Structure 1
Amino acid sequence: MEGNQSIQKIYSSDWSTIPEMVLVEIMSYLPVHDRVNAGLVCAWWKECFKHPRLWTKFLFKFDTNTPDEAKAISSIDAYCSLLQDVKMYLNPWHSVSRDRAIYALNEMAWSPAKKLKKFAFHFTGFNPIILDSTGILNALKNLFSQSTGTEFLLRLRVIDLTGCNIPFDDELVSIIANNHPYIRILKLQNSCYYYYVTPKSILELVKKCHHLEELDVFCASLDSEVIETLGNDPDCAMKKLRLVCNSKSRSCPAVLSDAWAVLSNHGVQVTIMIESSTPSAIVDEILCENIPLVNLRWDVMYEPDARTMFRIAEQYNNTLRRLEINNGLSTSPATTDFQQTLELIVLKCTKLTHLVVSLPLSANTVGDILDGRYFEEYMLRCFRNDTIESVTNQI
């Protein structure tokens, strides 16, 4: 009897008595529109809805035309000043979602007390064939501009725009350089065909942002002066430099070997991703001596030139840790020259711990590569008995 009374007491309890810590924890797992609805249950739930913890780290998703998205942004006016770590995902196909994302960006920009420390913006899916990206780009520029005093300038540490597939320009980089001297991580690589960030704005960035630790850009955005400026800075904080090389790289001269030599003294780790659209002559210019190259991903339409492979073995034997060569179209064994130079890279580059090669190799080459050598990760394709099989240590 007492047990039944206890159960009845639990079920008749007032929901408004749920402890704040418990209710805030539950709300933190809800999508934004569900959280808004939960805040309408009673005065206590509405008070918990305002808890700073729920707004410190926030994920916006704008990928439908449903009214739920309108609910999600209805509370931005009141709480965007609490946002510190924001990720925003946008489906660019929906004009309503684009407008709502721009609205959210502008509300954050106009907040009188921005506390933003980390910001990421990504597209979900591909861009429409015709997309006017001016509104999104201008909203980003407004967000990063000095509009509300100096506290925001001292807080922002991370900007990740790798999934924001719109044409960035020098003005955007200049705004970041002039307004956020304590920025630590800046990622500007995307999949947009057009890209208007030149070495001029990147030079301004590295001159004014001495705390920059990681920079992700296209090779066309760098020149020797940028690299030398970083190398000659006694307080250089740069740890990771990620570069993408593609057909756009023709528009800018490659960084010279002497400039890389200056930077290599700071312990910077360089990652280079070469897209299949990159002409072989550009690849030869970019892969010069003295680059502190740690990771190399090379997407190829045809088999890589053996001379370039040989240079990789000779020039990066003390730094290279990960090598990835991708060509998913090949169904016949790679040439003897390629397989021999690949073996040479494995032999010379003693720090190499990750090897991914999609070009089919002979069974003898695969055996020679793996014999007595430890790899944290390897994924190879072996041509055996007229069939291709995968050889890997990954589950």
Structure 2
Amino acid sequence: MAAGTNWAGLPSVIIVDIVSYLSLEDRLKSSSICKRWRSCLFHPTLWQNVLFSFDKKDRKKSNFLAANCGRFIREAVVKFNSRDATEVRECAKLLDILSKNKNLERFSLQPSSCHIVWSEQETEHIIDNYLDNIEELIRNARRLSHFSLGCVEELLVHSNSLVQLMVQHHSKNLKSLHLASVKEDSEHYGIIEFDTSLICSFQCLTKLSIDYDYLTNELLHNFTDIRKAKLEKLCIHIHGISPEHEIVTNATWRRLRNYSPSFEVTVNLTHSHHGVAALLDVLQPCMPLTHFRQYFCSHINVAAIDFISTHFNDTLKTVIIMDDIQDQPMLYDERTDVYPDPFVMLAWRCIELQELSIIGYGIADGDVIAIARLRGDTLKKLVVPLSCIYTSNDSEDDASEIIPVRCISDDFFDKVSKSLNRSWWPVDDHELPEAVFDHMADAEDAYMETLLDDQKA
């Protein structure tokens, strides 16, 4: 080696290339070799993507990275507890730095909650501060391709003005736009004015998340324009459903699916009692439903589950249903003497099913075994709480009462594990989100991480 043992004598381009293979911790350690290596530590090519986390453990590191990399990184993911005043304040400081970054291409907020909580006197001030910096970020970034507001309600009420700004500056660059929200009270919320025709101005958009309130036939027809990119993923958040809302027709879904054969649709319902009841109006046979999730919606629409398993058998990959457990798990179908079970039928029909989670509802041990046997070749994740499994009741007694299994036999676990080709065990109560057993607990802990995963670049 030309430099011999003199590591400081290596050309900068070689040092940067070496450091590029190191983890974050090892990069920081390498900077202690000498002044020359330290000067190469913050070369822009080494810091393309940064996750900023402002919890107590990572705050110091994130502030350090913000000060040294915030003005030139290309992707910023901002993770913070939006109910903690300190983390909200640190996030605001970071946004101020990012707002001056001309190289930024991908921006994502990942809050712990759909609300930003500040002191009662300063909430409006901090939201204005966030908005000012985000607007400046949109103006200054040269090629913004991914933009996510992380379901933050206080920011999403300004969607119209923010999207207008993005149309002005990034209509030819934006590929991924996430404007879906979470309504903790799905029965009482105001629908903000949002001109969805603005979305039609983006020429390269391939990923979109949006509330069902704004989903129309006209909007989806825009994505069959041969002059624009094909839509690959659409994530729909359903809350309340107005009787006046325009139903997206099956013809629209067919047209979009024919134009983009790999198109995928995710449907998320949170606290949406009316949404679950109206699912048969929302779902259409040609909708390429890939992921279906409902959280704390108080009941299961069995007819909709049957519709899903019948019409989306070649596209469905995920079904997650989570509800709270009061005195005992609920019945999802009072006709427990009617066979087969809708989730057994789902497992039989849906050949691509990879994840099935049923939490808060009683399910017979025999049906769990049947699901595992039917889909063991593809089912990577089967989540059923121990407290929700009951013994199959073949008698003619009243089946409206669930009698949980007190002691499940080893034979039950062996049958499920053998069918799944891996060791399997039901979820213990202590592993479940607190909101499953305490209706006063914050339910967002149960679903925010999953919903934010939909909005990753």
Matched, 1:383 2:400: no
User: Any conservation in 2 of the 1:27–1:49 contact (CA below 8 Å)?
Assistant: no
Residue 284 (structure 1) aligns with: 280
Q: Matched residues in 1 for 2:340 and 2:299: separation?
A: 10
Asked if the contact 1:304–1:338 (Cα under 8 Å) also holds between the matched residues in 2, the reply is no
Residue number among 45, 52, 55 corresponding to 2:44 in the alignment: 52
Q: Say if 1:378 and 1:70 are closer, same or farther in 2 by CA, change over 3 A.
A: closer
Contact 1:109 1:142 in 2 (8 A): yes
Aligned partners of 2:51, 2:302: CA distance in 1, in Å?
47
**Partners in 1 of 2:86 and 2:167 — Cα distance?**
32
Q: Establish whether residue 269 from structure 1 lines up as the match of residue 264 from structure 2.
A: yes
Q: Contact 1:303–1:338 at 8 Å: present in 2 too?
A: no
Deviation at 1:27, TM superposition (A): 8.9
Q: 1:183 aligns with which of 164, 167, 174?
A: 174
Q: Among all aligned residue pairs of Structure 1 and Structure 2, give the percentage whose two residues are the same amino acid.
A: 17
1:338 to 1:301, Cα distance in 2 relative to 1, 3 A: farther
Specify the alignment match of 2:94 in structure 1: 104
Q: Decide whether the 8 Å contact of 1:123 with 1:165 is kept in 2.
A: no
Cα distance change, pair 24–136 in 1 and its aligned pair in 2 (3 A): same
Q: Which runs of 5+ in 2 are unaligned?
A: 393-402, 424-457
The reply on whether 1:144 has 2:138 as its aligned counterpart is yes
What code does the residue aligned with 2:404 have? T
The answer to whether structure 1 residue 237 and structure 2 residue 230 are counterparts is: yes
Aligned to 1:212: 205
Would the alpha carbon gap of residues 138 and 191 (structure 1) be closer, same or farther in structure 2, given more than 3 Å must change?
farther
Q: CA deviation at 1:45?
A: 5.3
Q: Partner letter of residue 383 of structure 1?
A: Y
What is the match of residue 362 of structure 2?
360
Change in 2 beyond 3 A, CA 1:311/1:94: closer
Q: How much does 1:183 deviate? A: 1.6
Letter in 2 for 1:376: L
Q: Residues 165 and 190 of structure 1 are in contact (CA less than 8 Å); yes or no, is this contact kept in structure 2? A: yes
Deviation at 1:240, TM superposition (A): 1.0
> How many residue pairs align between the two structures?
369
Deviation digits for residues 145-175 of structure 1, max 9, x if unmatched?
A: 2x4xxxx44x322223326563312111222
Q: 1:283 to 1:61 in 2, by over 3 A?
A: same
User: Which residue identity is paired with 1:286?
Assistant: V
Match of 1:225 in 2: 218
1:342 aligns with 2:343: yes
Give the counterpart letter for 2:378 in structure 1: F
Please tell me the residue identity of whatever aligns with 1:170: N
Q: CA deviation at 1:83?
A: 1.4
For residue 220 of structure 1, report the CA deviation from its aligned partner. Answer: 1.7
Distance 1:375 1:309, change over 3 A: same
Q: Kindly report which structure 2 residues correspond to 1:21-170, keeping only aligned pairs within 5 A, or say none.
A: 21=15, 24=19, 29-30=24-25, 44=36, 47-63=39-55, 73-75=66-68, 80=71, 82-93=72-83, 95=85, 97-111=87-101, 114-124=102-112, 127-128=116-117, 130=120, 131-132=123-124, 133-145=127-139, 147=140, 152-153=141-142, 155-162=143-150, 164=152, 166-168=154-156, 169-170=159-160
Please report the RMSD computed on the Cα atoms of aligned residues, expressed in angstroms.
4.1
Structure 1 segments unaligned to the other structure (5+ residues) = 1-12
Distance in 1 separating the partners of 2:204 and 2:85: 38
The amino acid that maps onto 1:167 is L
**Which position in structure 2 is the counterpart of 1:293?**
289
Alpha-carbon separation, structure 1, partners of 2:353 and 2:23: 42
Q: Greater strand share, 1 or 2? A: 1
